Amino acid sequence: AIDIAKLRDLTGYVTYDPGYKNTGATKSAITFLDGEEGILRHCGYSIEELADQASFLEVAYLLLHGELPTKAQLDAFEESIKKYSVANAALLKIAEAIPSSTHPMSELSALVGLMEGQYASNEPAENILRLLAALPIFAAWNYKKSIGEPIVAPDQSLDYCSNFLKMMFAKPGEAYQVDPIVSKALNKLLILHADHEQNCSTSTVRLIGSSHASIFSSISGGIQALFGPLHGGANQAVIEMLEEIKQAGGDTQKFVEMAKDKNSGFRLMGFGHRVYKNFDPRARIIKVAADDVLTALGVKDPVLTIAQELEAAALSDDYFVARKLYPNVDFYSGIIYRALHIPTNMFTILFAIGRLPGWIAQHKEMMTNKEPIGRPRQIYVGATPRAFVPMSQR
Ligand code: ACO
C-alpha cells in the first residue's frame, strides 16, 4: 500500500504558492474584497458608506460583532474604552526609557507586547477594550517624548479621535480646542484602514494567535509586519519619495522611468496592490479627502500637486497599465496626515491605530472558529543525504 504521508514528504506533495498569492488560509465573515471590481465591504457594508457616515468606533464595533451598534450599544462601547484609557505607570516608565531614536513602530510593538505580562490572564473581552484604549496613548507618549514635552492625560469627555489629537497636540499650560475638520479627517482615515482581510499584518496576527500566544503577542507581531515599506510603512515611504521628487525639480516622468527599470531597485511607493487589479476604493476616497481637507484647512502643499502629476504620469504609461498598478490606500494618506501635523515617522502608527479593530476581530474569529495552528509547508531544494565530515577533514 502507498504511504501517502511518506509520499507527501518525499515528493513535495504540497501546494507551492510563494507569497500565498492564491492560498485561502481561512474562512472569514468580516471583510469582502473584490480586487477586479475594486469593491471593499465590511460585514456587507460598503467602505464608501462607512467612511462617509460612520464613526471609527462604530466600524470597530461592526468588525468585532458583525452588526452595526444601536445608539445604546455604541455609547456603552465608547464608555468602556474610556474606562481603560488611563496611563499604565509601569509601561510609561518603560516607554520613557526607550531611546527616542527608536522608530515609533518598534516602540509601539514593544509596549503592546509588554502588555502581555500585565493583562494576559484577564478576560479576552476586557483585553480588547484595553488594546483599543492603549494604542492612541502609546502613540501620543512617543510623540511627546520626541518633542521633549510632558505627556497629556486622556480626556474622558472627548471622542476617540479628538482625545488622540489632544494627547498629541495639547501644550502644557495652554487650552486646546480640537479642530472638527481635523478630527473628522482622522476619523475617515482610521475607518479606511480598519480591516483588509488576510493582508500581511493580519495574517501575522492570525498566525501568531494560532499558537495560542496572547492577543498582545499577536498584535505586537502584527505591528512589526505592518512596519515594512511594502505594507503599512509605504505611507511614510510615499511622502519621502514625493519630497525627493520635489527636491529633484518635480520631474515625475523621470521617477516613473526609474520605477520601470528593474535594475534601479526603485518602485513607485503607494502604487500596486496584491489584490486590487483595477483600483483601490480606499485610494479614491482618500484622494478626494486630501483635496477637501487641505482646502478646508487652507493648507497649500506642493507635494499634493506632485502626487497628482505622478499618478497621471504612471496611469498613462504602458508599464503601469499592463501590470494594473494603481495608487493604493497609502498614496494620498500621508498628504492628509501631514496637513494634520502628524510627523512623517508616525504615519504608519496612524495606520496601526486604524487597523487595530481589524486585527482584533480577525484574531477573535480565528479563536472562535478554533482554527488549527498555522504551519505552512515547503518544497525542499537543499542538499541530498551526505555523511558528516569531521572538522579535521573540512
Ligand atoms: N512600482 C513599479 N513596479 C511595480 C510596483 C511599483 N510600485 N509594484 C509592482 N510592480 C511590478 C513588479 O516589478 C512586477 O513586475 P513584473 O511582472 O515585470 O515582474 C509586477 O508589477 C507585479 O508586482 P509584484 O511585486 O509581483 O506584486 P505583489 O502583489 O507581489 O506586490 C506590492 C504588491 C507589494 C504592493 C507591490 O505592488 C509594491 O511593492 N508596491 C509598492 C509598495 C506599496 O505601495 N505598498 C503598500 C501596499 S498597500 C498596503 O499594504 C496598505
Kindly give the distance from the C-alpha atom of residue 267 to the centroid of ligand 1, in angstroms, as a whole number: 8
Determine the Cα–Cα distance for residues 166 and 158; give it in Å rounded to an integer: 9
Predicted complex: ipTM over 0.95? yes
Q: Is the pTM of this model over 0.95?
A: no
Mean pLDDT, residues 88-101: 95
**The C-alpha cell that represents 46 in the structure block:** 460598503
Which atom of ligand 1 approaches the CA of 272 most closely? 37
CB under 6 Å to ligand 1: residues? 19, 230-232, 234, 259, 267-274, 323, 325, 328-330
Q: Give the Å distances, CA to CA, from 211 to 115, 164, 204, 321, 374.
A: 18, 33, 11, 41, 7
* Ligand 1 site-directed mutation target among 267, 326, 359, most atoms within 8 Å of CB: 267
Least-confidence region, from 197-201, 252-256, 293-297, 384-388: 293-297
Q: Cβ(324)–Cβ(209) under 8 Å?
A: no
Instruction: Tell me which amino acid residue 151 is.
Output: I
Determine the Cα–Cα distance for residues 330 and 196; give it in Å rounded to an integer: 13
**Could you tell me where the DSSP H helices lie in the chain?**
4-11, 47-53, 56-65, 71-83, 89-97, 104-119, 124-146, 160-169, 180-192, 200-209, 215-227, 234-247, 252-260, 281-297, 302-315, 318-322, 329-339, 347-368
Task: Look up residue 327 and give its DSSP letter.
Answer: B
**Could you tell me where the DSSP H helices lie in 193-233?**
200-209, 215-227
Residues with Cβ within 8 Å of 91's Cβ and at least 6 positions away in sequence, in order, are 111, 114, 115, 118, 138
pLDDT tens for 250-267 read: 999 999 999 999 999 999
Choice between 82 and 120, residue whose per-residue pLDDT is larger = 82
Q: Give the Å distances, CA to CA, from 370 to 48, 100, 205, 384.
A: 32, 40, 15, 38
Mean pLDDT, residues 138-145: 97
Q: Cβ(177)–Cβ(198) under 8 Å?
A: no
Q: Is the pLDDT of residue 62 over 70?
A: yes
If you average pLDDT over every residue of the chain, what do you get?
94
Mean pLDDT, residues 235-262: 95
pLDDT for 54? 98
pLDDT for 13? 74
For this structure, is 155 an active site residue?
no
pLDDT for 121? 83
Q: Cβ(202)–Cβ(195) under 8 Å?
A: yes
Nearest CA to ligand 1 atom 31: 274
pLDDT tens for 343-388 read: 999 999 999 999 999 999 999 999 999 999 999 999 899 999 999 9
pLDDT tens for 5-46 read: 666 665 557 889 999 999 999 999 999 999 999 999 999 999
Task: Look up residue 264 and give its DSSP letter.
Answer: G
In DSSP terms, 203 is beta-bridged to: none
Residues with Cβ within 8 Å of 44's Cβ and at least 6 positions away in sequence, in order, are 32
In terms of Cα–Cα distance, which of 55, 56, 50, 57 is closest to 77? 57
pLDDT tens for 151-164 read: 999 999 999 999 99
